[in-house]
Structure 1
């Protein structure tokens, strides 16, 4: 029987500092039947030159004008020949056995997708001491009900939800095709919206051993870019939540789903308050369609959260906003 080919898709935008390590982690896979597709999304640093340095028979490099990560991943999907798809951002890493372990698990689980544990590390501080978050691990379970899995992830059964890094997944091309392309209009939470569709087009989730590595770092340029594009990012965040709501409620509309969407919208209400009045009003309008559930936002440190508990989060947000404004 022919071994399945896995396409590893790596979008890169100004990822020169980390890109070589990401590509090398793809090359280091113990599963030998892979193709690596790197899409440079209009980088202004030497990311493209670094990717070209790896170009060979099974490492293909493409370049396009800057269109965003979703467009770069869609280009990768167009070029992919694999039976399975592995997404990998240009600053993250795969453990060497990640793909092999997940393929073995999926061999007897047709129609399902695989997910693995995620190790977070700060910039270049990756050591054996880094372990997965026990809290995040509690959301990563075998589940034959995709709706249940997503609802739990969004906070429908607990007081909070969680996130899953995109490279934790391994997905068959058949499921990828049925889910449709990345939404190129979204600039934030595009992965949440996309994987909501992917999960719902599967027959369930298989949790596998092993790890992938998610890099966390403080980058001043990214902070400034966030401030410059805040309104665009906020609009994307709201659109992503509403799309996820539509996908879930098209299947069923349980109290748990209502709670999950309520919590997602409340997070946005807190985020938009004061700084984005039009979007805030839109979120409040959406919230009127839901019962009121317990919600305790985390606004920062112990003092501001204490004030929030006593006087409410709106008072705390106003104090926080004007305090930061004075510091600037």
Structure 2
């Protein structure tokens, strides 16, 4: 019998988390699903941890390491269900996640993209992601992606569900991008679809800190934001969203000392859409900028300037 949901979990070296991630799926109050684990060339005991879980609904595919985008696309291609739910290997769901998404699908059968709000766990502290311009005193709504994502994105790789035909029509995640591939996919999704959204957080994302100064600059290859420019001229919220992401990419390139790409991104920024704080951060010397960001991360349990 064909399951209602295919849960796609890309897996690369998450031996300490993957067990609890899969258990959060198995403990769902809605049990009509299959789990597709795409082992993306893990070199630790991640695969062993998955094999130790005895449930016939789990299918494991082991592939050569090609990154999260390829693993997600590969898993989606193997999905038997009409609806694909993505979950990262170190995140987890509230036990009612799939049940509430199923209700949302039944309520809005004309929509193709569904999601719930997100809880974020950072440094052993948790907080709810905040969103813009959501209607008050409702449990769910159908919204414009860009209008509601000016703080946190309402789409996330651990809280989003796509109708399979829509995911394939969008072309999946861009496998040429090694970072921000999810942002690129959310933008392409938002340009084509409204989002049916549950305002209650039903998924938890664990923030893993990385040292930007030591990161290979190739990993921070920027999205070509120009490709969206002509598509967002009629959507002010989309324009602001794009500018915020260009700003974030510019800051990343500044921190790794890539002046060429920094200058390229600066030419794409519209100063009228930048806040005073953003303009100040861009103007700071690299060492001062890094100090400010590190200080912010120490005193704030929530978010960095990204």
TM-score category, normalised to shorter length? 0.7 to 0.9
Change beyond 3 A, Cα 1:186–1:23? same
Q: Which stretch of the first structure deviates more once superposed, 208-217 or 69-78?
A: 208-217
Shift of 1:32: 1.5
Instruction: Note the alpha carbon deviations across 1:48-92, whole angstroms, 9 max, x for none.
Output: 111122254210011111100011111101111011111001100
Aligned with 2:128 (options 128, 132, 144):
132
* Match of residue 233 from structure 1: 219
Cα distance in 1 for partners of 2:268, 2:199 equals: 37
Q: TM-score, normalised by structure 2?
A: 0.81
Cα distance in 1 for partners of 2:37, 2:110 equals: 27
Structure with the largest fraction of helix: 1
Shift of 1:271: 3.1
Aligned with 1:271 (options 226, 234, 252):
252
Change beyond 3 A, Cα 1:251–1:283? closer
* Match of residue 198 from structure 2: 207
Q: TM-score, normalised by structure 1?
A: 0.76
Shift of 1:14: 0.5
- The number of aligned residues is 286
Instruction: Note the alpha carbon deviations across 1:227-275, whole angstroms, 9 max, x for none.
Output: 554312321xx216445x24xx326434443333333323333332371
Change beyond 3 A, Cα 1:285–1:294? closer
Structure 2: tracts of 5 or more residues without a match: 294-306
1:168 maps to 2:159: yes
Structure 1: tracts of 5 or more residues without a match: 156-160, 299-307
Equivalent residues of 1:119, 1:211 under 8 A apart: yes
When Rg is computed on C-alpha atoms for both structures, the one with the higher figure is: 1
* Match of residue 158 from structure 1: none
* Match of residue 59 from structure 1: 58
1:293 maps to 2:273: yes
Cα distance in 2 for partners of 1:71, 1:254 equals: 30
Where 2:168 maps in the other structure, the secondary structure is helix
* Runs of at least 4 residues off by over 6 Å: none
Change beyond 3 A, Cα 1:140–1:175? farther
* Match of residue 86 from structure 2: 87
Where 1:261 maps in the other structure, the secondary structure is helix
Please tell me the root mean square deviation across aligned C-alpha atoms, in Å. 3.0
Equivalent residues of 2:119, 2:201 under 8 A apart: no
